[in-house]
Amino acid sequence: RIMLLIVLLCIIPTTISHGIPNMAARFFTRSQVRAQRLVGILAENANYYIRKLNVRVVNHLLSEDEKEHNINEFLTLECIRLDLWEPYVCKGMVDVFASELYFVAKRVNYTPEEVCGVFLNDCDPPVNPMQVLWKLQISGNKPAVKPWPLIDAPNKTMRVLQLSDIHVDRDYAEGSEADCLDGGPTIGLCCRNYPVTSSNKTIKSPAGKWGSLHHCDIPYRTFEQAMRHISETHKDLDYIIITGDLVSHDMWNFSEQLTKGTIANVTQILIKNFPNIPIYETVGNHEGVPSDAMASHNMDEYATRGPSWLYNVLADAWGRWISPESIKTVRYRASYVEYPSPGLKLISVNSIYCSKINFYIYINQTDPDDTLTWLISELLDSEAKGEKVHIISHIPAGLDVCLKGWSHNFYEIVNRFESTIAAQFFGHTHLDHFEVYYADSNSAGRATHMNFIAPSITTANYVNPSYRIYTIDGGYDGASYTVLDAETYATDIDIANANDEEPKWALEYSAKAAYGLSDLSPSSWADLISRLAVDDELFTKFHRYMFRSTHEENCVNEPECRQRYICSMKTAKSFEEDIFCPGS
């Protein structure tokens, strides 16, 4: 029960500003400073409970005859007393997460120090049970590494659209308060009309018609307009990938019914605008109810607590574009394989099984639902057949929100199958960046692979909406299916609101042209990292694109800040910054 209180007080800063704080200290910039006004307050209180364990709290929760509903009420009152949230948000967060956390708390035996280590890096002693390593075996020997194919004149190319982190808000309210993170008790997600509360003040930043560059998600009209624009402008799309998170960030209000409704609505908009284009999706953490809650089948009470309801909803929504066999694997683990083109296998991997906010995984984090074992099997099959593979997933394994065991195994899988995997596509952070993989986890050595982390459609965390189109060598026998270029498009929401006109979308940049890349091979991306470390103009450009031209400050002249960006691009393993960036 003590653990429950600690976790409840820690989960909120970890999840509510989802895109940016999940980057931990790697991206601490002005956009984050705004969110950190809130996170700082929460962290102080989390530290207080973790390290001091207020006697009144301990005595109350250790009462043997205490009922769960009484504990819920107590936690809600503590949340209100500490001014963490508005009262109804406090109540909602406890109501949504309490059952999951009670269930987990009864099945694990972590000490307060260990629980502290899950969320904070400066615990005493520094013990983090979520950094437990486990190792999967890959049968057979790794074939000789083939040089990365450099395609100067492809026989044929494919055009692939990536959408990520859509986060439509059914309750977005034009004219409501957009700047609600004011350092006091907060409503959690801005740009909404809320009940009368202490935050019910004169509106200083009215939410725009098309969205707002604050901690707000987007209205349906913006998503609909974006899809209409893409369908009318880009007539050459071969298929679409969507890397998760359709649902808004109001986690205290999550329910199966609301999530089902959002998935259905987004799917209908996609079908309306792209009736004849295949769409391949992967599940995001915000599709879970509670957020991130996706238990594996080996957990007791899976029938009532597991995510089967969600996986069935996804299978039904995706069934238009995937095979009956794929539908079966979606219903089991929300992962599947498809063949967008002869010789190309697309693997959609449920990476929410690596989320440290997926509390059910605390019970047994080793390869939930054998997902990585299944991935290895699919890669071995493709290796034997000479196929190329694209991986789509939500959470990049290099983020510290991804459990260390999963992350390290995924890294080894990518390196083992570096000649088979042609590309990887992720989302989750809402930002525009990438990670490079290295042989033997040595960032001074040979680059083996990289992943694209695509920007979001949502404005949450102060970024303009964006989408990306890849040009891929493919569609013919012997194609490499490597990415030849990545074009990122964005719109300026402030201009659309100011002019009372539909958002105008434009090419923001081509990766190849903007960064002076001769090709998009792993070695070229590794070389780009080296150049970003010393070239001020190039780093400024990268930083601007990362935030879609919304970021007013640049840490190009702040060595420590700049190094965090450089280190993040080298680190595709979670909790390993010291190894990939020694001395940083």
Kindly state the tokens that stand for 363.
């019970």
- The span from the CA of 494 to the CA of 463, in Å, is 11
For residue 172, what is the DSSP state? B
* Residue ranges of domains in the chain: 2-131
- The distance of Cα 281 from the centroid of its chain, to the nearest Å, equals 14
Please say whether the dihedral angle defined by the alpha carbons of residues 528, 534, 537 and 542, taken in this order, is positive or negative.
Answer: positive
Residues annotated as binding site for Zn(2+)? 165, 167, 245, 285, 394, 428, 430
Q: Could you give the strand order of the β-sheet that contains 421-426, starting from the edge strand earlier in sequence?
A: 336-341, 344-349, 388-393, 421-426, 447-453, 433-438
Distance CA 558, CA 272 (A): 47
Binding-site residues from annotation: 165, 167, 245, 285, 394, 428, 430
pLDDT on residue 59: 47
- Strands 336-341 vs 433-438: parallel, antiparallel or unpaired: unpaired
pTM of the prediction? 0.91
> What pLDDT score does 446 carry?
96
Provide the pLDDT for residue 483: 99
Containing H/E element for 56? Answer: helix 55-61
pLDDT beneath 70: ranges in the chain: 1-67, 109-130, 182-187, 196-200, 551-554, 584
168, 248 contact by CB (below 8 A): yes
CA distance 116 to 94: 19
pLDDT at position 65, please?
52
At CA 331, angle to CA 329 and CA 336, rounded to 5? 30
The Cα 289–Cα 473 span in angstroms is: 39
Report pLDDT for 578. Answer: 83
CA separation for the pair 13, 196 (Å, rounded): 24
How is residue 445 written in tokens? 């050595």
